[in-house]
Amino acid sequence: MGSSVPHIPGILAEPGLAENFRREVADLLGRNNRGFPGAQPVSFARNHFEELHRRDYWLCEKTDGIRCLLYCTSDDDGSELHYLIDRRNDYYFVKGIHLPHHEDPDLKKFHDGTLIDGELVNDHIGGEVKMRYLAFDILALDGKSVMDRTFAKRLALLREYVISPYKRLKERWPADFALMVFEIMFKKMEKPYGTEMMFKQVMPSLPHGNDGLIFQCAETPYVSGTDQHILKWKPPHENTIDFLLRLGDFPMVDPGGGEEPFPDYDAKPTILLYVNGGNHNYEEFAPLYITDEEWEAMKAIDEVLDQRIIECYKDEQGRWRYKKDENGRTFRPRFRDDKPDANHKSTVGKVLEAIDDGVTEADLEKCVGTVKAAWKKRHPEESR
């Protein structure tokens, strides 16, 4: 399978227009902050098992794609507009998308003032690549914020008012539907005790990349920024941190003969990783360990390396290595150009806790019975 991470389709909005949209979205959501309004998960740790026993959670696979919000709005002339918003809070105009309104039987009226949360991904089906937007939450519907609703109610709104009429559109005009730049799908949710099924049935058959699970509390409102009730589980070896990479000193060459030493820019330099300390301050964290072969691969991509966000993992020897993107037959570093900043040091601390905790697939499967029993106790109506 090739990469499941697509390039964002569409036209990047120029700075002035993008700032207008940021103000518009902030007003729609009743926020003073014009930053990216999307929620961010925390890493799953052992203390979160108690959460799964105590409260209702939904479970889904963690897609390896591009996190985007989909903003449905209208132009001055009343025509339908759609923008994808990435984590850098940039806006990309996407042509040819139609999200019919649930109240219009003719499916011509559209949603306006609606903000959807999801993941843009490349699905590999029968030798073909199909771009899809996997919708898993909604922040605003037709000019009204729904962030104060519980996740369970927001899912119901998304499914009934957005996805259902969209499916009817697909059934009624399949030829027109096929021309859209990507397909919108509702991301399937499972009960929190469905981990064994996810590992053995769902994840192996996915048409796109996956790097873990997401548990999201059904009872809580939408939180912009870090949400303590969205739990991101990855296998211990897949827990990664997004650092700022800075190239350090290159080895010096002494040509002799009285000439001044000079840096050897072909040789492997010192490479340091930095974490976000807040207020645009970065703190040195650790060196990046790379082999000579990996350094040659980094140089071969012929791109600027310094001052970029790079995704890294901790190997069995405790060294920080860069995560690799598979691109055909070659491997390249996974640069996170979709993110404006490296992980904050508080996030880094939580990821390190998750790595030290080492919650495994077996640990999750071991608690299935007790999580299911607790769920059934809270929902006796499901046993009738």
Q: 45 near 234, Cβ under 8 Å? A: no
Dist CA 384 CA 381 (whole Å): 5
- Return the SS3 of 322: strand
Cβ neighbours of residue 229 closer than 8 Å, sequence gap 6 or more:
51, 216, 217, 220, 223
Q: Which of 62, 232, 314, 350 is catalytic?
A: 62
Residue 383 carries which DSSP code?
G
The CA-atom distances, in angstroms, between 334 and each of 25, 34, 338 are 30, 28, 11
Alpha-carbon dihedral 104, 106, 111, 112, rounded to 10 degrees: -90
> Residue 223: which of 320, 303, 149, 134 has the closest Cα?
149
> Residue 37: which of 64, 7, 68 has the closest Cα?
68
The pLDDT score that the predictor gives to residue 147 is 98
Dist CA 194 CA 254 (whole Å): 63
Q: 34 near 93, Cβ under 8 Å? A: no
Low-confidence ranges of the chain (pLDDT < 70): 1-4, 326-331, 384
Chain centroid offset of residue 226 CA: 13
The pLDDT score that the predictor gives to residue 328 is 39
280: phi > 0 → left, psi -120 to 50 → alpha, else beta; which? left
Which residues partner with 216 through β-bridges? 58, 230
Dist CA 350 CA 364 (whole Å): 19
The pLDDT score that the predictor gives to residue 327 is 46
62 is catalytic: yes
Amino acid 230 reads: I
> Residue 52: which of 219, 196, 188 has the closest Cα?
219
* Angle ∠(120,126,131) on CA atoms, nearest 5: 15
Residue 216, Cβ neighbours under 10 Å: how many? 24
Dist CA 298 CA 292 (whole Å): 10
Residue 275, Cβ neighbours under 10 Å: how many? 23
pLDDT per position as a tens digit, 136-150: 999 999 999 999 999
Q: Which two tokens stand for residue 314?
A: 């901790």
The number of C-alpha atoms within 13 Å of 240 and in the hemisphere containing its C-beta is 19
Alpha-carbon dihedral 171, 175, 180, 185, rounded to 10 degrees: 20
Q: Are strands 57-63 and 39-43 parallel, antiparallel or unpaired?
A: unpaired
For 79, phi then psi, to 5°, come to -80, 155
Q: 227 near 42, Cβ under 8 Å? A: yes
